[in-house]
Amino acid sequence: MTTPLPAPAVCLTELAIAFALKGGGRYTAVEGIDLAVAPGEFVAIVGPTGCGKSTLLNATAGLVRPVAGRVEIFGRELSGLNIRAGYLFQQDALMPWKTALENVAVALEPKGVAAAKARAQAEQWLRRVGLAAFTERYPHMLSGGQKKRVALAQMLIRDPEILLMDEPFGPLDAQTRQLMGNLLLELWAADRKAVMFVTHDLEEAIALADRVVVMSAGPAARIIGDFRVELPRPRDIAEVRLEPAFHHIHKEIWSQLRVEVQKAYAQGEAG
């Protein structure tokens, strides 16, 4: 007897998403998207600006409805919000009137966790992301990298089975990005979740992921490339970039991505 394969954590099938435009008409952002992410798999999504990367994450989170196709989460069609996923947004989403500790603890509120227990867990999580000494700081008293650590703790404390991350380290300087990347890999290795990680940085995508998926320029953007990254784990974000296999796969993916980036740029120029 063969054991059935586990359902993918995320399965997008023939997915299309369109937006109604002011003054009539609609804009089809993505179309014909087929993407499956296995439980525990780390998938990075790259593509030119405006191609629909955030839109794909929003559809997986249940924040936008597809006009065609399906979103399945662990084998079940998604209707409403995806409560099995945690989302790290492209923009900062910490509450400025709450301390780091309160920002993390509040994530447990919907689960009905008692306040004292939530604070204790939040403290543990802030320690895990290296912020034990910063629990009582408000977001404006934290650096960009520290805020991202708080946001990471805020997402992970809920123990979601799927992590949706939208250019989470985008605004950070190069060294801080590397530190955050290594921290993320360490946390992920301890307790493997399925990850959809959007980035415009191809090197970051390869260094982190098991697979890199390439999207075409929009409108009606599609997935045009799907590359397996065979680099061994555990990885160090800075060191893995020095390996010949890294350069090889980077060259392969970039030759495809570059064409799409140029197309998107030309469209922008044309207005």
Ligand X SMILES: Nc1ncnc2c1ncn2[C@@H]1O[C@H](COP(=O)(O)OP(=O)(O)OP(=O)(O)O)[C@@H](O)[C@H]1O
Give the interface segment with ligand X, choosing from 46-54, 65-73, 76-84, 104-112 (CB under 6 A): 46-54
In angstroms, give the least distance from the CB of 52 to ligand X.
Answer: 4
Question: Is residue 86 part of the contact set for ligand X (CB under 6 A)?
Answer: no
Angle, in degrees to the nearest 10, between helices 115-128 and 144-156:
130
Per DSSP, 221 falls in state B
192-251: contacts with ligand X (CB under 6 A): 200, 218
Tell me what percent of the chain is helix, strand and coil, each rounded to the nearest 5: 40, 25, 35
Question: Which residue from 53, 147, 148, 177 is in contact with ligand X, where contact means CB under 6 A?
Answer: 53
Query: How many other CB atoms are found less than 10 A from the CB of residue 220?
Result: 16
Question: Which residue from 15, 29, 122, 165 is in contact with ligand X, where contact means CB under 6 A?
Answer: 29
105 contact partners, CB below 8 Å, separation of at least 6: 115, 118, 119, 121, 122, 157
**Which listed option, Mg ion, ligand X, none, makes contact with residue 262 (CB within 5 to 8 Å by class)?**
none
**Which listed option, Mg ion, ligand X, none, makes contact with residue 29 (CB within 5 to 8 Å by class)?**
ligand X
Question: Which residue from 6, 19, 81, 247 is in contact with ligand X, where contact means CB under 6 A?
Answer: 19
65 contact partners, CB below 8 Å, separation of at least 6: 59
**Which listed option, ligand X, Mg ion, none, makes contact with residue 160 (CB within 5 to 8 Å by class)?**
none
In this structure, the chain runs to a length of 271
The three-state secondary structure class of 234 is coil
Q: Which is nearer to ligand X, 137 or 222 (CB)?
A: 222
Q: Draw the binding track, 34-73, toward Mg ion (x: CB under 5 A; -: no contact).
A: --------------------x-------------------
Question: Is residue 50 part of the contact set for ligand X (CB under 6 A)?
Answer: yes
Q: Which is nearer to ligand X, 24 or 112 (CB)?
A: 24
Count H helices, E strands: the chain?
A: 8, 10
**Closest CA relative to residue 169, chosen from 159, 153, 184:** 184
Question: Is residue 27 part of the contact set for ligand X (CB under 6 A)?
Answer: yes
Q: Which residue ranges make up the site for ligand X (CB under 6 A)?
A: 19, 27, 29, 47, 49-55, 90, 200, 218
